[in-house]
Amino acid sequence: MRTRVELPLAWCQSRLDSGGDGGIDSQQGCLNYDHAQNSLRMFAASCFLMATQPYIEFQDISISFGEHHVLDHVSFRVMPGETVCILGRSGVGKSVCLRIAMGFLKPDSGHVIVNGADITAFSDEELEHLHREVTMVFQSGALFDSLTVADNVAFPLRERREGSEEQISRKVQDILRLVGIEQLKDNFPSEISTGVRRMVAIARALAAQPQCILYDEPTTMVDPIMARRVANVIRKLKQDLNLTSVVVTHDTRLAERVADHIIFLDNAKVLFYGTIPEMERARNPLVRKFLELDRIDLRALFGTELQEQKVS
């Protein structure tokens, strides 16, 4: 007995659009088993290929500003659905990597592959399409001061005319609830903290329904409680939506909470690529020094002074 085979509608439609039969018997208007089996095999192969190809790949990227070499033959991969953190000291090119991945900066040499396409020489029109799939959460938040939290999140939806106002309102409410700030929807950016502004920026990025989000120092200048909330949201988006993420940070605690892999940049080069446990065992002196300095126990350093002040 032959089992009923159900194929994703989009796959069948794409096969029809490209001249195939999508597993559909054109004469009987029903699913043809033999053709469907062939389509199913092709669909499975397509899914496997997508899962094994990097979503973002830097191939031998170099860029300089004047005499300053920011990235020197840098290569790395970010696989679909994973979170990669780029660590390093200030000024080593972490944020430059994000701007190159978005097409805001053009490398002097090398190639940038995003979702299977070489975007290195993309036109403005092609980049506009790319930015529907890949979006960025800026360190400043880049919110509109004159718009409420809800209107900031709704902005990309209204700009693209995606649905009625009622539909947009419902979607915005759902997104704000997802990041835990629905109660602040009527506030203006000037009325909320830096950490909450970052949450609004993440919510606005989500409204565009991207496949990938790039975060530029999402926990800089926020308190530890908000930093943990940001980390939890990034992790939740990966688990629930399978989003690909690249997080630029100097915060190793954030990296420990969210990263599948770490890229450590210094002196325009990738000094380390691997998992958190692998980084803990790394012997590179710069990587070790960075980890040690980031984890200095202030209480151990100033404990005596704090005790003396408390007694006096």
Better-scored residue on pLDDT, 9 or 182: 182
pLDDT score, position 12: 45
Burial of 299 (0-12, 13-18, 19+ CB in 10 A): exposed
pLDDT score, position 309: 44
Q: Enter the tokens of residue 56.
A: 């973002």
Q: Sorting pLDDT into bands at 50, 70 and 90, what band is 34?
A: low
Better-scored residue on pLDDT, 195 or 309: 195
Which of 32-36, 86-90, 158-162, 245-249 is least confident? 32-36
The stretch 185-210 carries a mean pLDDT of 91
Determine if residue 23 is left, alpha or beta; phi over 0 gives left, psi from -120 to 50 gives alpha, anything else beta. left
Q: Enter the tokens of residue 232.
A: 């939890």
Q: Enter the tokens of residue 27.
A: 């004469």
pLDDT at 47 over 60: no
Better-scored residue on pLDDT, 215 or 159: 215
pLDDT score, position 293: 75
% residues pLDDT > 70 (the chain): 78
The stretch 127-153 carries a mean pLDDT of 90
Domains identified in the chain and CATH numbers: 9-52 (no CATH), 56-298 (3.40.50.300)
pLDDT score, position 38: 60
pLDDT score, position 10: 44
d(CA 39, CA 200) in angstroms, rounded, equals 42
pLDDT score, position 304: 45
The answer to whether the beta carbons of residues 288 and 266 sit under 8 Å apart is no
% residues pLDDT > 90 (the chain): 50
pLDDT score, position 50: 52
pLDDT score, position 41: 59
d(CA 195, CA 38) in angstroms, rounded, equals 51
Q: Supply the mean pLDDT for the chain.
A: 82
- Residue 312: partners with Cβ closer than 8 Å, 6 or more residues away: none
pLDDT score, position 244: 96
pTM here? 0.76
Which of 3-17, 79-93, 194-208, 211-225 is least confident? 3-17
pLDDT score, position 278: 93
The stretch 49-75 carries a mean pLDDT of 89
- 209-259: pLDDT as tens digits: 899 999 999 988 888 888 999 999 999 999 988 999 999 998 888 999 999
Q: Enter the tokens of residue 227.
A: 């930093």
| Pairing status of strand 244-248 against strand 212-216 | parallel
d(CA 219, CA 216) in angstroms, rounded, equals 9
Q: Sorting pLDDT into bands at 50, 70 and 90, what band is 295?
A: low
pLDDT score, position 146: 92
d(CA 283, CA 71) in angstroms, rounded, equals 22
| Most confident among 58-62, 183-187, 295-299 (mean pLDDT) | 58-62
Q: For residue 270, what is the enclosing H or E element?
A: strand 269-274
pLDDT score, position 109: 96
Better-scored residue on pLDDT, 20 or 133: 133
| Pairing status of strand 134-137 against strand 83-87 | unpaired
